[in-house]
């Protein structure tokens, strides 16, 4: 998942960056870094985002 795909996925879930940060227990700065490509932990957070999506659609 690319940073752009991450942002698109978040938006498809109807979440703001701030709402996703709260849901994942991270800072808004972390979500911003993921989406602008400066976070080295994109893969980890992409898995967390997918898990969150699975919980909300189940």
* Res 3 pLDDT > 90: yes
* Architecture field, domain 3-57: Orthogonal Bundle (1.10)
Domains of the chain, residue spans: 3-57
What would the pLDDT profile of 16-54 be if each residue is shown by its tens digit?
999 999 999 999 999 999 999 998 888 888 888 888 888
pTM: 0.81
Residues 42 and 38: their CA atoms lie apart, in Å, by 9
Task: Write out the two tokens for 52.
Answer: 């969150």
Direct distance between the N- and C-terminal alpha carbons of the chain, in angstroms, rounded to an integer: 22
Those residues whose C-beta lies under 8 Å from the C-beta of residue 13, and which sit 6 or more positions away, are 20, 49, 52, 53, 56
């Amino acid at each position: 998942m690319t940073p752009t795909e991450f942002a698109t996925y978040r938006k498809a879930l109807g979440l703001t960056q701030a709402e996703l940060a709260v849901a994942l227990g991270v800072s808004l700065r972390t979500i911003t870094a993921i989406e602008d490509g400066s976070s080295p932990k994109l893969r980890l957070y992409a898995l967390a985002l997918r898990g969150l999506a699975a919980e909300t659609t189940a």
